[in-house]
Amino acid sequence: MLNPGDSVSLEEIGGSIDGPLYSSESLTISDQIRNTPLTNAKPDRTQYQIMRLMNHYAWSYVRIINLSDIRNTISGDLIEDHQRLQVPYLSLFSDYRDTERTVWLQHQESKPIVVAWGVNPKLEEMANNAIQKLPIHIKGLQGDEPYQYFHPLPRKGGEARRWLERFIREIEF
């Protein structure tokens, strides 16, 4: 996926509902991120769409990995924020987070990996970086460019249902 979207934690960690703030100057930022406890969260509409896929494919568990850790529901703004901040720790696909990503992706050789971060041309660098670091058996609804995969919750009314129907029709696991 692209980012955490509207999903929010239902629990406070480190004095914040968004969890602790990490200092980019910290030499142990990847350890800080890795040691942040998981919390219950309120899903956003995109996550409900993923739950519909889970229901169809009879999956009991999915792990959503985002291109960026920045929470911004407007993808164009998120991409600009990511480029402006230039903080490599804000993506699991950063070289600085290789160990963490390796742990998250271990034993994924036989499991489905769905990519669906959207088709915004400004995503090219982030998406290509992720594609290089994901196992080769990724699946998704491809856009016009190799790095583009349609997002499960398009902004246009009625498109989310069409995305779901097309995914189920075209993608087999």
> Is the residue at 107 inside a domain?
yes
> Is the residue at 161 inside a domain?
yes
Lowest mean pLDDT among 22-31, 74-83, 85-94, 159-168: 22-31
In tens, the pLDDT along 141-163 reads 999 999 999 999 888 878 999 99
Counts of helices then strands in the chain (DSSP H, E): 6, 4
Across 45-49, 78-82, 114-118, which has the greatest mean pLDDT? 114-118
> Is the residue at 4 inside a domain?
no
Q: Which domain holds residue 69?
A: 43-170
Res 119 pLDDT > 90:
yes
Alpha carbon 37 to chain centroid distance? Answer: 18
CA dihedral (159, 160, 162, 167) positive or negative: positive
Please tell me the predicted confidence (pLDDT) of residue 118.
Answer: 92
The H or E element spanning position 9 is: strand 8-9
> Is the residue at 102 inside a domain?
yes
> Is the residue at 139 inside a domain?
yes
Please tell me the predicted confidence (pLDDT) of residue 80.
Answer: 85
Residue 42 structure tokens = 């309120």
> Is the residue at 27 inside a domain?
no
**Average pLDDT for the chain:** 83
> Is the residue at 133 inside a domain?
yes
Domain count along the chain: 1
Across 81-90, 97-106, 131-140, which has the greatest mean pLDDT? 131-140
Lowest mean pLDDT among 28-37, 110-119, 129-138: 28-37
> Is the residue at 118 inside a domain?
yes
Please tell me the predicted confidence (pLDDT) of residue 14.
Answer: 67
